[in-house]
Every structure is written in C-alpha cells, then in structure tokens.
Amino acid sequence: MESIKSIIYHNVSAQKVQKKIKKIILTKPLHPTKIILGTYTFLILLGTILLSLPFAHQGSLSLTNALFTATSATTVTGLIVVDTAKNFTIWGQLIILSLIQLGGLGYILFGTFFLLGLKNITLKNRQLLQTAVNYPGFYGLTHFLKRILPIIFFIELVGIVPLLLTFLNYKMPFSKALFHSVFHSVSAFNNAGFSSFSNNIIAFKHQFLFIFSMAILIILGGIGFFVINELLLYSQKKIKKISIHTKITLSITGFLIVLGTLIIFFTEFSYQPNIPLATKLTDSAFISVTARTAGFNIVEISSLSSASLLFIINLMFIGASPGGTGGGIKTVTFAIAFFTLWAFLNKKEDVIVFKRKIAEKYLKKAFSIILLSIFCILLMTFILNIIEKIDFLPSLFEVTSAFATVGLSTGNSTNLSLTANFSNLGKLTIIICMLIGRIGILSFAIAFLRQEKNTYLKYPEERIII
C-alpha cells in the first residue's frame, strides 16, 4: 500500500503506474519458513567451511563430518561424529559455540534483524514476524523482540558462575575453567548437548551444584522465550495475570520432569543397591530433563534397558516448549492433543483448559504436527534401516533424537553417537532429520505446499464409519 501511494504522488505516466501497481500486487512475499531455512542453511554451510579449515581441527576431518558437526551445532542437536575435545582446536570449538548460539537464537535473531531493517511496521510485516518467532498474537511483539535478547545473555552469564566454581574446584587453571564454563552455559541454555570434554559431563555427575545449574539452564532454554519474558513481566507487576499458554507450558513441563524422574528411577536405579538414594533421584531427574531437549550424558545411554530407551524416545518426541531452543512436537502440542482426547472420551464438545475454550484451529494444528512427525520419524527410520542394516530400536532412537534435536544416542561412546559409524548416506539422512526438526515439521510442510485459496462454498456433510 505504501509503495502504491508513493508512485501516485509522483509525476509518472499512467502506463508506468499501471505496470508498477501490477508488479506490487502480483509479487508474493517469501514465506517466513523459507527465509529461516535459508538462514540456517547459510549458517551450516559457513560452519562447514570454517570447521574444514586447518586451524579449526586436528588431524583429518572429512567434509561429511564437518557438515554433520556444523548441522548438529546450528540445529542445537548435539549428535557427535567426531570428538569435540580431541578433534577440534580451541578455534574450532569457538566456531561450534558460535553456531550453537546463533542456531539456538535463530528465530529471535531473525525477527530482531528483520525488525531493525523495516521503516514501517505494517500489519503484513507484523504477521511475518509473528509467524517467524512463534509469538502468540501481534500485541507487544516488537517490544518482546527488543527485550528478550539481553535477558537471554544475562541468563547465560549468570549460568557461568556455578559452573566456573565447579571447574575451579577441580584445580583447573582459571582461563581453562572459564572457557569450559562459557561453553557449557551456552550449550545448556540452547539445549545443544555439546560438551568440551571427551566424556561429555559424566565426570561431574556427582557434583550437585554443577548438575543443578545445568538442569536449570536447560529448563529455562526449553520453556520458551515468551514464557521467560511473561514471567519476568509478572514478577515486576507489569502484567496482572499469566496467559493460558504459560500456564500450560509450566504445568506440562513440571509434570513431564516428575513423571520422567519416577519412571527412569524404577526402570534403571531401583534395583541397584550400592548407589545412595539421593544419587539415584538426582541422576533420574537429570536424565528426565536432558532427555526431552538437551542430550547431555551422565550415563552410558547404550547401557540403559530397552524399557528406559523406549520411554526416553517418547520424552524426546514431546520435546521442549514452543518458542524455545529445543525441538520435538512441543509440550503444548502434546497437552492440547491430550486434552482433546480427554474431552472426546468424556463426550464433551469443547476442549476446556484452565476455564478457557481452545479454538478448533489449534486442535487441528496439534494433531497435524503429531501425525506429520510420526510419519517423518518412521519414514527416516525405514530409510536408515535399509541403508545401515541396524536394529529397529537403535535406529528409531537415533532418528527421534535427531528429529527432536536432542542429541542422545545409543552409541558405544559417551561422546560419539551411533551415527559416527554410518555411511555418508546414513549421515546425510540424520542431517535432514536435524534440519527438519529445527525448522518445525508443520512449517516445513506448509512452506513447500501450494496454498489453496479459502472458499465460502460449503459442501453437505456425509456419514462415514470410523
């Protein structure tokens, strides 16, 4: 509209005006998912080039492994095909850390830079921003984008302190301890699962301050930027009440952590008499937290029982919350699907959550995400089984971990994933899983489908047998 007004007020011929108006009307704005996909692809290719340079790695590093590492870091997954501590120099680890930070904040950074480049924030621009950063509604969107980045960096900065104290307690030199603290604080908040140690964080599994701090950073990164911002506004009494979205997010997050702790405790640690009860509960709680989003290892995943692995697959599938740094179908999607099923079983027409009716479009979206995700995971597992000839459960675990951007693996090494033994084609399959999981399966599908125009034509209903 602004472009049309600008050409009307200038002394141009009618023919030129007609051509310009036609060009403006026929030009379709690029879908936000395509822009985000392009941004992530650019970061991955740039990271691949940088990691392939001699100063970034030690020994040989194939182009496929460089691409895989860059993708895993940018999509904040954490699956490892080469040892981060041994195969990358300090510069290579800093490149990985930068990719983690940019990848974890990708949506927010995109929204912020897009906002700064706009002269007029029109309704269409707001709609594009709202879709890109997964923000519920238009009100307060621009203020949210300007406010959230300093908050995120402050959380990561505070998270460095307890980690630094832990590393200094291990008699590390201050500079080395500071580097490891920064690396793990950024990796934990962005739910990346990367560690600058060869054995991940197993050496610190009994350090309560370290484990507790890492868990808090993972949870804060996983609940979503909108929830963090709203909780701060509520604590400062700038808003009078918490939104339904935040209530659902916090409730489901807490429920899944407690449920995961209890089930992992009974399936893995209840029959081990030589371990103190406090240690069993701490390990179970941390596994429950990291299994949904982050992917840090405090135990050998390959040593867990099949029952535990199957349950962890479900936790990974649910994942983090909308607008956060984790993947999966999201906690709110899982909650909406559950409440819809509960309402159907109780023969209720409306889905009521916290005394509010959930609109039908959100119910359709939730089930669409779940069905598309299941289809994508099973398809990729099928392809991986054909390519690599591995058992079903390990391949399903690996694909789900990649799709949900978690990073846990049933590989025999604590820091190397099962994918490390795959062929280049198998690694490429996991790379595609990580990228789709980070972008979002529904957004990915919608962006590349031809959109049909809405019609007011209504067809008669027909009865079918289900």
Q: What is the mean pLDDT of residues 80-88?
A: 91
The verdict on residue 464 lying in a domain is no
- Model confidence band, residue 29 (pLDDT cutoffs 50, 70, 90): low
The verdict on residue 463 lying in a domain is no
The verdict on residue 229 lying in a domain is yes
Q: Which residues of 164-177 are buried (b: 16+ CB within 10 A; e: fewer)?
A: bebbeeeebeeeeb
Q: Quick one: 18 and 38 in the same domain? A: no
Q: Give residue 162's pLDDT.
A: 95
Verdict on whether the full-model pTM lies above 0.95: no
The verdict on residue 35 lying in a domain is yes
Q: Quick one: 263 and 401 in the same domain? A: yes
Give the structural domain span for 56: 31-447
Distance, in Å, from the CA atom of 115 to the CA atom of 134, rounded to the nearest integer, reads 15
- Name the percent of the chain lying above pLDDT 70: 82
The verdict on residue 452 lying in a domain is no
**Could you tell me where the DSSP H helices lie in 236-276?**
244-264
Q: Quick one: 15 and 35 in the same domain? A: no
The verdict on residue 235 lying in a domain is yes
Between 442 and 190, whose confidence is greater? 190
Q: Quick one: 171 and 276 in the same domain? A: yes
Distance of CA 110 to the CA centre of its chain: 15
Distance, in Å, from the CA atom of 315 to the CA atom of 222, rounded to the nearest integer, reads 13
- pLDDT digits 0-9 by tens, 252-309: 999 999 999 999 999 988 777 788 888 889 989 999 999 988 989 888 888 888 999 9
For the ranges 115-119, 355-359, 397-401, the lowest mean pLDDT is seen at 115-119
Q: Give residue 7's pLDDT.
A: 45
Q: Quick one: 135 and 217 in the same domain? A: yes
Q: Quick one: 360 and 228 in the same domain? A: yes
What is the DSSP annotation of 150-173? HHHHHHHHHHHHHHHHHHHHTT--
Q: Give residue 105's pLDDT.
A: 79
Report the number of distinct structural domains present in the chain.
Answer: 2
- Model confidence band, residue 464 (pLDDT cutoffs 50, 70, 90): confident
Q: Quick one: 199 and 120 in the same domain? A: yes
The verdict on residue 36 lying in a domain is yes
- pLDDT digits 0-9 by tens, 126-174: 555 555 555 555 556 667 777 788 888 999 999 999 999 999 998 899 9
**CA dist 430 to 285, 396, 440, 451, Å?**
28, 11, 15, 29
For the ranges 10-19, 260-269, 442-451, the lowest mean pLDDT is seen at 10-19
Provide the residue type at 194 as one letter.
Answer: F
Q: Quick one: 11 and 52 in the same domain? A: no
Q: Quick one: 262 and 406 in the same domain? A: yes
What is the DSSP annotation of 19-76? HHHHHHHHPPPPPHHHHHHHHHHHHHHHHHHHHHSTTTBSS---HHHHHHHHHHHHTT
CB 321 within 8 A of CB 224: yes
**CA dist 278 to 203, 256, 275, Å?**
18, 20, 8
CB 320 within 8 A of CB 223: yes
Q: Quick one: 111 and 62 in the same domain? A: yes
Name residue, tokens 């889905």.
Answer: 351
The verdict on residue 271 lying in a domain is yes
Name residue, tokens 């936790």.
Answer: 315
Q: Quick one: 21 and 136 in the same domain? A: no
Position 5 pLDDT exceeds 60: no
Q: Quick one: 197 and 280 in the same domain? A: yes
What integer best gives the mean pLDDT of the chain?
A: 84
